[in-house]
A and B are shown apart, each in its own frame.
Chain A
Amino acid sequence: MEPTAVAEIRRLIAKAKRWDLIFSLVGLLALSLAVTVLVGLFVNLVWDGAPRITTEFFTNFSSRRATSAGIAAAWVGTLLVMLVTALTAVPLGVAAGIYLEEYAPKNWLTGLIEINISNLAGVPSVVYGLLGLGLFVYLLGLGQSIAAAGLTLALLILPIVIVATREAIRTIPGAIREGAYALGATKWQMVSHHIIPYSSAGILTGVIIGLARAIGETAPLITVGAAVAIFSYPSSLFKGDFPFLSFEWLRESFTVMPIQMFQWTSRPDQAFQVNAAAAGLVLIVLTLLMNGFAIYLRYRLRKNIKW
């Protein structure tokens, strides 16, 4: 081969290789943009909000003075709304996932349910708020209450729980099912003794991710009708006489962490925006912890289970 031709080929290769380098840098840059935003957001919230995080911030109710306003009603509200959401979405979602993986025959109805679930995941969250407003608040007469808010969010995260359940069940090999049947188990015995326990860690991961999403949801709850300001704790979950559980709190008005943050952010007074940063910090730490735990759980799961 002539030396000039070899040089020409070398030049071509070098040129093509340069693109490799350029794109590697572009990719790294894009990735670092994402990381920078994540870190920047967190640092910003810590910078602005951390000085406001005191015990009083967690025990004070709404106030006209920014420095004496706190998130007591908001975090208790978040806790109670999440309780309703989890108690509704988890049994319903897990049951639906089990049906679709273990029971469902391959027919048009199953196909319809599957398409429907993937479609529900694409519905904007504010539309769920309208559903909650029309259905729970007015049609079922629950009013703008903790129950209505919790049920609305339960519908919102139902697709997440169903999909997570199905994925967890799908990783269980068929030999386990055959083994159970071989020992004379009925279908439900097989499911309740084997499928549910073995998939429980995977399901838990999905449930945590779903609840972390629900904790941060704002728009649907504004639409359902959160209270502008609440000055007392809701009534207790427990009471002295039988059956010891009280359900008064379900009918009471609500506010939650993200709504408190939204209200403070949209106030022109800068002192309230500091409160918003502090509320945001609490919220972001909560969601990051939940998601981090879920990611860790999934990582452990992938590492430990060898069928």
Chain B
Amino acid sequence: MNVSSVMRGAALSEVSPAMAVSRRPWGRFKERVIELLLLLAALSSVAITVAIMVILIKESWTFFQHVPLWDFLTDTEWTPLFDNPRYGIMPLISGTLVSSAVALSIAIPVGTAIALYLSEFAPFKMREAAKPVLELLAAIPTVVYGYFAFLVVTPLLQQLIPGLPGFNLLSAGIVMGIMIIPYVSSLSEDAMRAVPMHLREGSYAMGATRFQTAWKVVTPAAFSGLAASYILAISRAVGETMVVALAAGGQPNLTWSPLDPAATMTAYIVQVSQGDLPHGSIGYQSIFAVGLTLLLITLAFNILGYWLRKRYREVY
């Protein structure tokens, strides 16, 4: 043992009791403060939800004092910025529903087929290669998809369907559908992969083929996950903005035909925000009323998806 370590030992034994006494309360206090700060950070997510609700409801409240709720829900015209304003949300809802329906009729079958293929058929290497590609497809900015819909897909469709207007819900819906495919495929695949192996083995033991196993055993067993992924796709389609704002036009139009131009709820919000709306005007409040409607619709779908996943989750 050398001198310095003895010295240090002596110093430690002299100092440590005093330090322990003086440090412990401070240490405990510091731990408490850190935990409190971390809790506050976690609570900030709740604060965001509360802030969204408060802001939307506050501005909508003044809107609905000017516009009766009944007119808002039943009037068939939406012209808040005209001299003779009408405030019926129906045309915006019809535009949203039509473009979402087109998108889902592409995203759900294609997304499910990809998920089933990757989970049950594809060799390991292909799956490893396909997943990043799908992820990249989901990562492309929506404004790029909007450009693609407006300047590439619409001219192509115009050659197939003569007389198709330059703005239409069909082209927006198709591109939106492609955009949503990765969301459907990745969640559906997760659900299918969560189906335990012994169910498949049982099916094969009975002499079933791959497709029979995939379609009659794995798909029903993964039902709750599939349903949840479809519902997420619906809420994505309803909330999607840039594709419809660029490709479907901004004219509110009560129509059920995908070949017509029309505005969606999201497109209206974007279109109005582009202009200079005075703070507190009825036009300014109208985008919050539309936003609240949009939020309530997507919230309903999210809750339905959450419930479905809980309710129908098979426990193996």
Contact = CB atoms under 8 A, between A and B. Distances in A.
A245 interface: no
Contacts of A280: 143-144, 147
3 closest residue pairs by CB, A with B: A27-B117, A124-B239, A216-B141
A96 B299 contact: no
A209 B148 CA distance: 23
B134 to A, nearest CB: 6
A266 B151 CA distance: 10
A292 interface: yes
Given A34-B133, A96-B45, A216-B140, A188 B270 contact: no
A254 B133 CA distance: 33
Contact of B144 (A31, A116, A127, A284): A284
A162 interface: yes
A89 to B, nearest CB: 10
A34 B298 contact: no
Given A126-B241, A223-B273, 14 more contacts: A16-B209, A23-B121, A30-B113, A34-B178, A95-B42, A96-B42, A104-B42, A120-B49, A124-B238, A124-B240, A135-B55, A216-B142, A219-B242, A273-B151
B291 A126 contact: yes
B212 interface: yes
A27 to B, nearest CB: 2
A186 B136 contact: no
Interface string B38-59: 1101111110110110011011
B30 interface: yes
30 contacts: A20-B211, A24-B117, A24-B121, A26-B113, A31-B118, A34-B110, A34-B137, A34-B178, A37-B137, A92-B44, A99-B42, A100-B42, A103-B39, A113-B43, A116-B49, A119-B299, A122-B232, A123-B52, A124-B266, A126-B266, A158-B45, A159-B45, A213-B139, A216-B141, A218-B141, A258-B141, A262-B143, A265-B143, A276-B147, A283-B141
Interface in A122-153: 122-131, 133-135, 138-139
A20 B208 CA distance: 11
Most buried by B among A45, A112, A261, A273: A261
B210 interface: yes
Interface of B: 27, 30-31, 34-35, 37-39, 41-46, 48-49, 51-52, 55-56, 58-59, 110, 113-114, 116-118, 121-122, 130, 132-137, 139-148, 150-152, 178, 181-182, 208-212, 214, 232, 235, 238-242, 245-246, 266, 269-270, 273-274, 279, 287-288, 291, 294-295, 298-299, 301-302, 306
B119 to A, nearest CB: 10
B150 A218 contact: no
A225 interface: yes
A172 interface: no
A218 B44 contact: no
A124 B147 contact: no
Contact of B38 (A96, A130, A225, A259): A96
Contacts of A224: 273
Nearest to A22: B211
Contacts of B45: 96, 113, 116-117, 120, 158-159, 162
Contacts of B42: 95-96, 99-100, 104, 113
A98 B270 contact: no
A217 B141 CA distance: 7
A287 interface: yes
B298 A123 contact: yes
Interface in A172-195: 186-188
Interface residues of A, number: 90
A295 B46 contact: no
Contacts of A219: 142, 241-242, 245, 266, 269-270
Nearest to A270: B151
Contacts of A23: 116-117, 121, 210-211, 214
Nearest to A24: B121
Contacts of A10: none
Interface in A248-270: 258-259, 261-262, 265-266
Given A41-B140, A291-B139, A130 B291 contact: yes
Nearest to A212: B139
A27 B274 contact: no
Given A30-B110, A124-B238, A218-B141, A131 B51 contact: yes
Contacts of A104: 42
A155 B212 CA distance: 45
Contacts of A287: 139-141
Contact of A27 (B35, B59, B113, B137): B113
Contact of B146 (A130, A188, A265): A265
Nearest to B274: A222
A31 B117 contact: yes
Contacts of A212: 139
A215 interface: yes
Nearest to A117: B45
